[in-house]
Structure 1
Amino acid sequence: MDIQFVGEHLLPGKLGQFFIVLAFGASLLSTVAYYFQTVKDKNDLSWRQIARWSFRIQSVAVIGIIASLFYIIYNHYFEYNYAWSHSSKTLPVEYMISCFWEGQEGSFLLWAFWQLVIGNIIMRTAKDWEDSVMTVISLSQVFILSMLLGIEIFGHRIGSSPFILLREAMQDAPIFKDPEYLVKYITDGKGLNPLLQNYWMVIHPPTLFFGFASMVAPFAYAIAGLWTKRINEWTKPAIPWALAASMVLGAGIIMGAFWAYEALNFGGFWAWDPVENASLIPWLTMISAVHVLIIFKNTGHSYFTALFLTLISYILVLYASFLTRSGILGETSVHAFTDLGMMGQLVAYLVVFLVISVILIIVRWKKMPFTEKEENIYSREFWMFIGALVMTLSCLQVIGFTSVPVINKVFGTNIAPPLEPVAFYNQWQMPFAIVVAILLGFSQFMKYKKSDTGKFWISTGVSFLMSIIITAIISYFTLFSGLKTVFGEGFNGSENFNWLFVVLIFAAVFGVLANLNVLSDAIKGKYKLTGSAIAHIGFGLMLIGAVVAASQNKVISINTSGFDYGSQFDAKNKRENILLWKNEPMKINNYTVTYLGDSTKGVNTYYRVNYKVIENNQVKESFDLYPLGQQNPSMGLVASPDTRHYLTHDIYTHVSSVPKKESADEHESHEGHNDDEEYEKPVSYKVSIGDTIFFDEGKVIVKGINRNAQLKDIPLSGNDLAIGLKLEIVGNDDHKVTAIEPVYLIKNNSVFSFAKKMDEFGLKFKFVNVLPAEHKFEMVMLKKPGKQKDYIIMKAIVFPYINFLWSGTIIMVIGFAFAISRRIKELTSSKDKEKNARQVA
């Protein structure tokens, strides 16, 4: 007899699962119908009508899936595994949207939605390309929607449904034998990862997945061109889509960088994490594809390179999805998804599209336009091709080392990933960036097919000399003594100096100046290259901002007190973090900083840190920063920085350690409890050997455990267990060290906690639990009433001229938008001319 479960809302889940099956079936039908319309008689449009209607039904069904899932999340129906795993009652609505795509199922759904948007646009605009292009896009939808099915066929699970019930996901859990489990035990969800509770994570994932989805359009045009023997024609309609994909994916990547800068505490905007690399790789190849497609359009050269880069860009999107979703990066990336058993489907998705591409290339090889004539060295297309080649080589380096876990898995090797990924990748990628920046500069002085040599050298020479002067000025104010005005007199830029930085800044400046020259022609009415010039200027500014901010950022919170924070801080972090007692000012660089207290909103605590610039006993500037710290039960302290933005620099602050705030009331039921009324409310800590806990007059260091603890007048039998927690209390004033050892006792299956007092500081310590699964011990600290000084340990960094990076991003996106507009107008004009020619004929 089935158990009737109280409080469950099954209708939204059943409706959502119905929409999944409907969307998958409709995608399959639209693929088949578009395929037959492509290969059958063109005068019979019956297959196209079926394909269009099935694609529209699929669009409505996916919206239905989204609505059903959001309804479940919004109403806190925690009987569903997805809602319980990713949301909670305390989340505001905007973060409920974020938890919608935190899981794999939600992100696949987002991808499917954007691909449907693109498909509907192409249905209306592609005209005679519709059938073949939509066949490819519909096939891609089949694979993506299969990831959401969550059904078993012949014992094999296909996909993972977001509508699976919690009791189905955890069938062996004993609580689900109780028909009232939902009322008694499931009172709230696990909640959204604290690091994702940021406004950038509301807009970054949709933008990134829109970029991934957009990559299918130029790929589909390339496949359709080969399939239908329109070998050359596909390049024209593919160019606007390739530009759009580059723009949107690039914007998504930079949004991720800004999220990392705003929300994470590693002190930067790009960590060369494998998941970051996975999104960067297809962007680099698509940028290369755009340039080579333009070369082919203008000269007829480099067809195969344009085709290969267009195809490989979407293949790399699928490879990136495999890397991040198969669980293979679980040990090398903190951002990767865990394996949901879909590795086989991900591999099939990748292999099918790769095989289709290879077969069509082989079949159409003899029909491809290969030119024997070599490009002139003074032609724009020659150097654009070289630039695309350099970017492709850059991509190969990134993908090679990012794929180390895959190589180890396939070949049984044990290659170690880079220990210092930022330094490693920067060392490799900087030369590539220098070459690309120089090429995007002087290639703008050239014309297609052949340039005037004299004019080229004059224009290049003028820009070259101006770039040297501007680079010298920038280097002085960023890499040398000029930054003392920002960092203070203690700053010495040479400690982070590298001549490659100067060369890269010169290359970026040269690229910006050359493209400014092209942009100036727009004033004279020459608008054709406006979009590319603006995009190149933005890219150059991005490079300048990235190299200066990344190489010359300066930690100003240097610990000169000699205070040791314990083993949870390594040597570098001990040096770069300062301890601030509440209301006690401390001088760091040009600033006097004071911790003024905290305020709690929901699960987050905001720590108010005041910065003052005092000159001649007068306050010249004063502002407060509010770095966030959440004491998460499963993740420990989750900290997000707060940043003060200036035109020339940012001051970035985050907390590294804060006092424990949660109470230990739950431990008062332990046997052996003493009267603690003379003490304030106890505070519980989960500690490991080497950890340090601070209090107002000193600190407590966890030195180790004593497995053979002895208790006076309590004999121990063979089954009894007594463990002592070795603690050292160190005073701030005299640095006197006092050792104490509270004991945790299990005797006759009963638990006892024997406290130890430290009367000098009015403290009492209890050892209340052993947590072997976490390799931690639980202790409680009590303090007698009196003056309580709060504290934080914080880190402050100055990032100089980082606004070049962010402003460059905006300018680059604007340039892409101009370029897309131009290419669409060209395509429309070309179609109108062909239509008029047919009418005349």
Structure 2
Amino acid sequence: MDIQYVGEHLLPGKLGQFFIILAFGMSLLSTIAYYFQTSNDKNDLSWRQIARWSFRIHTVALIGIIAALFFIIYNHYFEYNYAYSHSSRSLPTHYMISCFWEGQEGSFLLWAFWQLVFGNVLIRFAKDWEDSVMTIVGLSQVFILSMLLGVEVFGYRIGSSPFILLRDAMQGAPIFQDPQYLVKYIQDGRGLNPLLQNYWMVIHPPTLFFGFASMVVPFAYAMAGLWTKRLKEWVKPALPYALVAVMVLGTGIIMGAFWAYEALNFGGFWAWDPVENASLIPWLTMISAIHVLVVYKNTGHSYFTALFLVLISFILVLYASFLTRSGILGETSVHAFTDLGMSGQLVIYVLVFLALSTWLIVKNWKQLPITEKDEHIYSREFWMFIGALVMTLSCLQVIATTSIPVYNKLFNGNVAPPVDPVGFYNQWQMPFAVIVALISAFAQYLKYKKTDSVKFWINTGVSLLMSALVTAVVVYYTLLGGLKLVFGENYHNDNPFNWMFVILIYACVFSVITNAKILGEAIKGKFKLTGSAVAHMGFALMLIGATIAASQKRVISINTSGFDYGKEFDSKNKRENVLLWKGESMKMDKYLVTYTGDTTEGVNTYYRVNYKVVDESNKVVENFDLNPLGQINPTMGLVASPDTRHYLTHDIYTHVSSVPKREEDAAAEGHDGHAEDEGYNPPSTYKVSVGDTINFDEGKVVVRGINKDVHLKDMTINQGDIAVGLTLAVIGNSDRKETIVEPVYLIKNRSQFTLSKKMEEFGLKFKFTKIIPDENKFELVMLKKPGKQKDYVIMKAIVFPYINFLWGGTIIMVIGFAFSISRRLKELKDAKSKDQTEKMKDVVL
């Protein structure tokens, strides 16, 4: 007899699963109908009507899936595995939206939604391309929806449904034998990952997946052009969508960088993490594709390169999805999803589109409009092609290194990824960036087909000279002694000088100056190159900002006290973190820094750190507070998010690296209530390993080791008994005197005992309460007698100079893309008007 569970709400899940089946079925029917409409008599539009109505029903069904899932999350229906795994009652509404796409199923749903939007746009505006293009878009939609099915076919599970019940996801768990499990045991969900509880995570994933989804449209036009033998015509309608894809995906990538900078504590905006790389790869190839598409459109050259880059960009989106969702990056990236058993489907998704595009190219190879004529070296198309080639080579280097886990899996290898990924990738990518920046500069002085070489060299020479002068000023104020004029005499630049940084800055300044000259001509009415000039300027400024901020960032929280924070801090972090006692000021660079208190909001604690600048007359000339977040998470330990003070020329970035446990947290872990503990504050419980350090107001406690040969006074250790001592060194701040205490964990006659040890000098008491062999840790309880207990934080502060060039350059680049999209749409509209006029003339004649 089936158990009747109390409190479950099954209707939303059943509706959601019905909508998944309906959406999948309708997308499949729409794809088939569009295929037959493309292949059959064009005068019979019956297949198109079926395809359109199927896609409309698919649209309604997909919106139904989204509504059902958000209804479940919003109403805290934790009987559903997705709601239980990704949300909690304490989350505000905007973070509930983030819960929607934290899991794989929700992110696939987000991807499908944006493809749905593009599908409806194409039905409205693609005109005579609708049938063939929508066949490709629909096929992609079929694959994405299959990831949400969660059904078994011939013993194989297809997809993972977001509407699976918790009791089905955790079959066999004892709590589900109780019909009232939901009322008794499931009071709250696991909650959203604390690192994702940031407003950027509300807008970053939708933007990123919008970019991924937009990649399918130029791919679909290229495939449709090959399929229907319209080998040249697809370029014009595909170009605006390619620009949209680059603009939106680039915006999403930079949003991710800003989220990392604002919310993560690794001290930067880009770490060359494999998941970061996975989104960058198709962006690079699509930028290359756009440039070669423009070359082909204006000269008829480089057709195959343009075709290949458009096709491979979408294939790389699918490959990136495989990398991040198959679990294969689990050991090399903290951002990757875990494997939900869909690796096979993801591989099929990649291989099907790779096979289709390859087959269509081979089938049409002899008809492809490939020219044998070489481009002139003094032509714009030649250098645009070279620039696209360089960006593709840059992309290949990123793919090759990011795919190391894939090689190891396929060939049973053991190749190790780079130990220092930032240094490794920067070393490879800077030469590529230099070449691209240079080409984006002097190519603006070139014309299509052929240029007057004398005029070219005069313009280029003047710009190179101007760039050298500007670069000298920039380098002086960013890499050399001029920084003292900006940040004060106390500024010390410990970063090594690197000539490659100078060369890259010079190339970027050259690009800004030449493109600014082209932009200046727009004032005279020559708007044709406005979009590309603005985009190139933005890209160059972005590179300048990234180069200076990353290479010249300076840690100002230097530990000169010699205080050892324990083995959880390596030598570098021991040097770059300072211990601040509450209310005690410390000199840090030009600042007087004080930890003044904290504020708790829900599970988050914000630590208030005051920065002051005092002049020689003891007058306060600058005064501000930063509030870095530190959350003690039960499963993740300390989850820290930085706070940043923004200036025009620099940022001051602060995050906490270690904080004391709050008393309520310690009390929640259990006070044993023994009379012998009376007179002490509630205990603090720690999981420790040998070498760990625990700080208290007058000093610190260091775990020195384990004593397995304990001799107990007035107690005999018999065979079968276990007595283990935890050797602790208590070290005072004032005299650095070290005192050894050794609480004992005892198992005697199958009963467990803890033999505590006191340290009267500091009013401390220690209990060794548990051995945790699976984690190679020990449970230590520490109590302290009442008194003025000082709070503290261990924190790190970094100055990022001129980082606003990075963010400002990004905005300018996006504006440039928007101008280019507007121009291409106008060209498309003008071309359609011209075609209609020609047709009318033919009718009249």
Shorter-chain TM-score above 0.5: yes
- Number of the residue aligned with 2:518: 518
- Number of the residue aligned with 1:743: 744
> How big is the shift at 1:724?
1.7
Which runs of structure 2 are paired with 1:820-839 in the superposition (5 Å)?
A: 820-839=821-840
1:470 aligns to what SS in structure 2? helix
- Number of the residue aligned with 1:685: 686
Q: Is the 8 A contact 1:274 1:332 kept in 2?
A: yes
Distance 1:277 1:53, change over 3 A: same
Q: 2-side partners of 1:283 and 1:767: how far apart? A: 55
1:655 aligns to what SS in structure 2? strand
Q: 2-side partners of 1:387 and 1:470: how far apart? A: 24
1:652 aligns with 2:670: no
Which runs of structure 2 are paired with 1:412-431 in the superposition (5 Å)?
A: 412-431=412-431
- Number of the residue aligned with 1:162: 162
TM-score by length of 1: 0.99
State the AA in 2 paired with 1:759. Answer: E
* CA displacement 1:786-817 (0-9 Å, x = unmatched): 11111100000000000000000001001100
Q: Is the 8 A contact 1:480 1:492 kept in 2?
A: no
Q: 1-side partners of 2:542 and 2:647: how far apart? A: 17
Q: 1-side partners of 2:723 and 2:97: how far apart? A: 50
- Number of the residue aligned with 1:637: 638
Q: 2-side partners of 1:352 and 1:532: how far apart? A: 35
2:76 aligns to what SS in structure 1? coil
Q: Is the 8 A contact 1:658 1:792 kept in 2?
A: yes
Q: 2-side partners of 1:257 and 1:497: how far apart? A: 25
1:20 aligns with 2:20: yes
Distance 1:251 1:630, change over 3 A: same
Q: Is the 8 A contact 2:490 2:590 kept in 1?
A: no
Structure 1: give runs of 5+ residues left out of the alignment.
none
2:787 aligns to what SS in structure 1? coil
- Number of the residue aligned with 1:348: 348
- Number of the residue aligned with 1:774: 775
Which runs of structure 2 are paired with 1:217-228 in the superposition (5 Å)?
A: 217-228=217-228
State the AA in 1 paired with 2:315. Answer: I
1:615 aligns with 2:647: no
Q: 1-side partners of 2:172 and 2:748: how far apart? A: 32
- Number of the residue aligned with 1:810: 811
State the AA in 2 paired with 1:791. Answer: Y
1:496 aligns to what SS in structure 2? coil
- Number of the residue aligned with 2:212: 212
Q: 2-side partners of 1:718 and 1:109: how far apart? A: 62
Q: 2-side partners of 1:659 and 1:513: how far apart? A: 52
State the AA in 2 paired with 1:66. Answer: I
Q: 1-side partners of 2:832 and 2:713: how far apart? A: 96
> How big is the shift at 1:674?
4.5
TM-score by length of 2: 0.98
State the AA in 2 paired with 1:833. Answer: K
* CA displacement 1:142-162 (0-9 Å, x = unmatched): 000000000111110000000
Q: 2-side partners of 1:819 and 1:388: how far apart? A: 18
1:760 aligns to what SS in structure 2? helix
State the AA in 2 paired with 1:5. Answer: Y
Q: 2-side partners of 1:270 and 1:410: how far apart? A: 29
State the AA in 2 paired with 1:775. Answer: N
> How big is the shift at 1:490?
5.0
Q: 2-side partners of 1:697 and 1:494: how far apart? A: 33
How many pairs does the alignment contain? 840
Q: 2-side partners of 1:623 and 1:647: how far apart? A: 16
* CA displacement 1:280-334 (0-9 Å, x = unmatched): 0000000000000000000000000000000000000000000000010011111
1:729 aligns with 2:769: no
- Number of the residue aligned with 1:801: 802
Q: 2-side partners of 1:656 and 1:667: how far apart? A: 22
* CA displacement 1:70-110 (0-9 Å, x = unmatched): 11111111111111111111111111111110000000000
- Number of the residue aligned with 2:70: 70
Distance 1:214 1:663, change over 3 A: closer
Q: 1-side partners of 2:52 and 2:686: how far apart? A: 61
2:192 aligns to what SS in structure 1? coil
Q: 2-side partners of 1:25 and 1:73: how far apart? A: 26
State the AA in 2 paired with 1:44. Answer: D
Q: 2-side partners of 1:650 and 1:226: how far apart? A: 51
* CA displacement 1:424-478 (0-9 Å, x = unmatched): 0000000000000000000001111111222211111111111001100000000
Q: Is the 8 A contact 2:671 2:682 kept in 1?
A: no
> How big is the shift at 1:714?
3.1
> How big is the shift at 1:716?
3.3
Which runs of structure 2 are paired with 1:353-368 in the superposition (5 Å)?
A: 353-368=353-368
Distance 1:689 1:280, change over 3 A: same
State the AA in 2 paired with 1:815. Answer: G
Distance 1:55 1:718, change over 3 A: farther
1:773 aligns to what SS in structure 2? helix
State the AA in 2 paired with 1:649. Answer: H
* CA displacement 1:756-800 (0-9 Å, x = unmatched): 111000011112222233332221111111111111000000000
Which runs of structure 2 are paired with 1:53-132 in the superposition (5 Å)?
A: 53-132=53-132
> How big is the shift at 1:665?
4.2
- Number of the residue aligned with 2:457: 457
Q: Is the 8 A contact 2:704 2:728 kept in 1?
A: yes
Q: Is the 8 A contact 2:495 2:552 kept in 1?
A: no
State the AA in 1 paired with 2:301. Answer: H
State the AA in 1 paired with 2:312. Answer: I
* CA displacement 1:512-560 (0-9 Å, x = unmatched): 1111011011100000111111111100100000000000000000001
- Number of the residue aligned with 1:700: 701
- Number of the residue aligned with 1:270: 270
1:218 aligns to what SS in structure 2? helix
Q: 1-side partners of 2:604 and 2:157: how far apart? A: 39
Q: 2-side partners of 1:98 and 1:355: how far apart? A: 35
Q: Is the 8 A contact 2:491 2:589 kept in 1?
A: no
Which deviates more, 84-93 or 700-709?
Answer: 700-709
Q: 1-side partners of 2:670 and 2:652: how far apart? A: 44
Distance 1:270 1:439, change over 3 A: same
**Percentage of identical aligned residues:** 74
> How big is the shift at 1:681?
1.6
Q: 2-side partners of 1:717 and 1:141: how far apart? A: 70
> How big is the shift at 1:345?
0.1
1:744 aligns to what SS in structure 2? strand
Q: Is the 8 A contact 1:480 1:494 kept in 2?
A: no
Q: 1-side partners of 2:710 and 2:241: how far apart? A: 72
- Number of the residue aligned with 1:144: 144
Distance 1:134 1:126, change over 3 A: same
Q: 1-side partners of 2:666 and 2:470: how far apart? A: 61
Distance 1:668 1:309, change over 3 A: closer
* CA displacement 1:378-426 (0-9 Å, x = unmatched): 1111100000000000000000010000011111111110000000000
Q: Is the 8 A contact 1:687 1:776 kept in 2?
A: yes
Q: 1-side partners of 2:366 and 2:203: how far apart? A: 46
State the AA in 2 paired with 1:641. Answer: P
Q: 1-side partners of 2:587 and 2:667: how far apart? A: 39
Q: 2-side partners of 1:628 and 1:668: how far apart? A: 25
> How big is the shift at 1:746?
2.6
Distance 1:487 1:734, change over 3 A: farther
Q: 2-side partners of 1:329 and 1:421: how far apart? A: 14
State the AA in 2 paired with 1:836. Answer: T
State the AA in 2 paired with 1:191. Answer: G
Q: 2-side partners of 1:499 and 1:46: how far apart? A: 66
Which deviates more, 88-97 or 714-723?
Answer: 714-723
* CA displacement 1:96-130 (0-9 Å, x = unmatched): 11111000000000000000001100110000000
- Number of the residue aligned with 1:605: 605
Which deviates more, 830-839 or 811-820?
Answer: 830-839
2:128 aligns to what SS in structure 1? helix
1:757 aligns with 2:777: no
Q: 2-side partners of 1:486 and 1:264: how far apart? A: 27
Q: Is the 8 A contact 1:679 1:782 kept in 2?
A: yes
1:495 aligns to what SS in structure 2? coil
Q: Is the 8 A contact 1:653 1:796 kept in 2?
A: yes
Q: 2-side partners of 1:715 and 1:18: how far apart? A: 69
Q: 2-side partners of 1:836 and 1:663: how far apart? A: 77
- Number of the residue aligned with 2:710: 709
Which deviates more, 488-497 or 106-115?
Answer: 488-497
Q: Is the 8 A contact 2:671 2:683 kept in 1?
A: no
Q: Is the 8 A contact 2:34 2:131 kept in 1?
A: yes
